[in-house]
Structure 1
Amino acid sequence: MTAVTQTPRPRFAVIDIARGVAIIAMVAYHLCWDLSYFRFIAPDVGRDPNWVIIARSILATFLFLVGVGLVLGHGRGVRWSAFWRRTSFVVLGALAITLGTYEVFPDSFVYFGVLHAIALFSLLALPFLFAPLWLAALLAVVVIALPFLFSAPLFDEKLFSWIGFWQVPPPTNDLVPVFPWFAAVLVGIIAARWLLASPLAARLAAIQPAGRLPRLLATLGRWSLLIYLLHQPLLLGVIYPASLLLHPEIAMRRTDFLASCQSSCVEGGTTPALCTTYCQCGLEGVEKNDLWNAIYSGLVSAREQALLDASNRQCSAVIYPELNTTQP
């Protein structure tokens, strides 16, 4: 792979539009993640299985388009100057994300996230711009399959976890290991090379965004990397101060308490209406006696246990007046 003077292929507007859709989806996901983290919304976006599927789908699309972009930009020969310029920009962005998340989330900072992966994967993928397609396909299958067949405690450590063979991943807000995610870039390369060798390429190249929305999406796609770098600082710059001002975690813990209490109460055989009354009474007792720490930590002192027992008796008497007996 030597330096070349060939010009890159013309931009495919449909690819820019796809990038635009992908970056909007990623921004939307991160907005929901931030709202969840600061307890503005109830779902645990980072752990809920449905949200995990959404996140991985967005990531796979993003990395697939990285592979497509490599073929469109360097498929006729690597333009080293352009490649290193873009890669350097990605590396600097990755470093900024690492430093920024270490400052905000020191226990779960991002040390090998999306941008780190894009920088490394772009370099690893260069030989497959020119290698036989069957070789790229074979490697993609291996990269996907190997994490299901092999794991070791060594890769639980941050130092090696970016490779991907962990048993328990270390705590981090974003981790995109080589295995299996490099396969998404390889699949993008395979698809783009196949497309450019087919008659469909001319038809796709002729498509131009005609409406306002397609043009907007294409513009966002062309600036997707910059948008990715800027969107989280902008989102956190609004959501974090709002959380300090509005304290959404207070309202959310009340909602969580009532939902958990209602579920347990109904499962115990009490009618939903009586459970609603009982749980509201219990919430008032928890707040009056400041028992939130006892409930959430599970570490209950003798005094706190006495208060909880008294609240339980009082609330039971509210829904079952016959229990409200006077002690001699």
Structure 2
Amino acid sequence: MKIQRFDTLDALRGLAMLWMTGFHFVFDLRYFKLVTQDVVRDPFWTWQRTLIVSLFLLCAGMGQAFATAQGQSWPRFWRRWAQVAGSALLVTVGSWLMFPNSFIYFGVLHGLALMLIVVRLTAHWGRWLWWLGALAIVSKFIFENLLQTGPLLPWADSLNSMHWNWLGWISKKPVTEDYVPLFPWLGVMWWGAAAGAWLWRQQFDWLAHPLPQPVQALAGLGRWSLSYYLVHQPVLIALVGGFSLLFK
């Protein structure tokens, strides 16, 4: 069965890609010491990262809701999942070559690969996804507090270790270039799935309505989001790094 794509969703995903590119451009400028903006600690930049990842995962959740509503088969799902998981492995290898002391072992694609399975299994749970999403997000802050001063303090070292910090129930952020753990981010993706299910039932005409011509380019970018994600940073690093060498 052919799964219908929606330009509206693809355009939102394309917007997230462009926003991410701008963020990474500033990150690379800082890495090559061409600007002084602190994209790691300055709230202006850290909140942008949070919003970018949130938009990306909301789109992923909506995509799973639409695929489930159209009866996507498990073999088709696993083919797409393998592309995401394989891309996550490439990110790990590439980041280890460039940042051996802070390589990416559970970034956005790693988290997405795990969350896709969870959301695929639960996408039909309807309104419960709103409550589950809220619980998943709140759990991050509950565990953070309990691990710092509460009864879970003896477990802090274990949950902060690389073996378990992919859960996100931590009291100390790991040293890594990208970190998108299961909690709280699964909550955002669950909300995306809940919103997608609602749109499918209540606003299908709006969802399928053609986009204005200027926005079509965003939809085209969104349809190739995984490929774009893998390529954009190497290209930016090469361009910014080459520029920095020329003008040192």
The 5 A counterparts of 1:135-214 are 136-150=129-143, 151=147, 152-198=156-202, 200-205=203-208, 207-211=209-213, 213-214=214-215
Percent identity between matched residues is: 36
- 2:167–2:181 contact (8 Å) kept in structure 1: yes
- 2:126–2:194 contact (8 Å) kept in structure 1: no
- Give, in whole Å, the separation in 2 of the partners of 1:243 and 1:98: 25
- 1:140–1:186 contact (8 Å) kept in structure 2: yes
- Give, in whole Å, the separation in 1 of the partners of 2:35 and 2:240: 12
Q: Report how far residue 208 of structure 1 moved.
A: 1.3
- Give, in whole Å, the separation in 2 of the partners of 1:190 and 1:164: 22
Relative distance call for 1:192 and 1:44 in structure 2 (3 A) is same
**Equivalent AA in structure 2 for residue 144 of structure 1:** I
Counterpart for residue 89 of structure 1:
83
Deviates more, 1:124-133 or 1:46-55: 124-133
Counterpart for residue 12 of structure 1:
6
- 2:58–2:191 contact (8 Å) kept in structure 1: yes
3-state SS of paired residue (2:164)? helix
- Give, in whole Å, the separation in 2 of the partners of 1:24 and 1:197: 29
Counterpart for residue 272 of structure 1:
none
**Equivalent AA in structure 2 for residue 131 of structure 1:** W
Deviates more, 1:145-154 or 1:73-82: 73-82
Q: Following superposition, which runs of at least 4 residues in structure 1 exceed 4 angstroms of deviation?
A: none
Q: Report how far residue 17 of structure 1 moved.
A: 1.1
* Higher RCO (Cα < 8 Å, 6 or more apart): 2
- Give, in whole Å, the separation in 1 of the partners of 2:123 and 2:174: 33
Counterpart for residue 215 of structure 1:
216
3-state SS of paired residue (1:197)? helix
**Equivalent AA in structure 1 for residue 137 of structure 2:** I
3-state SS of paired residue (1:158)? coil
**Structure 2 stretches of 5 or more lacking a match?**
148-155
- Give, in whole Å, the separation in 1 of the partners of 2:79 and 2:244: 38
Counterpart for residue 276 of structure 1:
none
Q: Report how far residue 155 of structure 1 moved.
A: 2.0
Counterpart for residue 103 of structure 1:
97
- Give, in whole Å, the separation in 1 of the partners of 2:87 and 2:79: 13
TM-score of the superposed pair, with normalisation by structure 1? 0.69
- 2:68–2:124 contact (8 Å) kept in structure 1: no
- Give, in whole Å, the separation in 1 of the partners of 2:6 and 2:51: 22
Counterpart for residue 326 of structure 1:
none
Q: Report how far residue 242 of structure 1 moved.
A: 3.1
- Give, in whole Å, the separation in 1 of the partners of 2:15 and 2:233: 17
- Once the two structures are superposed, residues 202-230 of structure 1 have per-residue CA deviations (whole angstroms, 9 ceiling, x without a partner) of 1331x21332x212111101111110011
- Once the two structures are superposed, residues 31-78 of structure 1 have per-residue CA deviations (whole angstroms, 9 ceiling, x without a partner) of 111111221111111211110001100100000000011112222334
- Give, in whole Å, the separation in 2 of the partners of 1:112 and 1:140: 20
Which protein is bigger by CA-based radius of gyration? 1
Match of 1:67 among 50, 54, 61: 61
Q: Report how far residue 7 of structure 1 moved.
A: 4.0
**Equivalent AA in structure 2 for residue 208 of structure 1:** P
Residue correspondences, number: 237
The 5 A counterparts of 1:223-242 are 223-242=224-243
**Equivalent AA in structure 2 for residue 223 of structure 1:** W
- Give, in whole Å, the separation in 2 of the partners of 1:92 and 1:246: 37
- 2:199–2:207 contact (8 Å) kept in structure 1: no
**Equivalent AA in structure 2 for residue 84 of structure 1:** W
- Give, in whole Å, the separation in 2 of the partners of 1:220 and 1:7: 20
**Structure 1 stretches of 5 or more lacking a match?**
1-5, 248-328
CA RMSD of aligned residues (A): 1.5
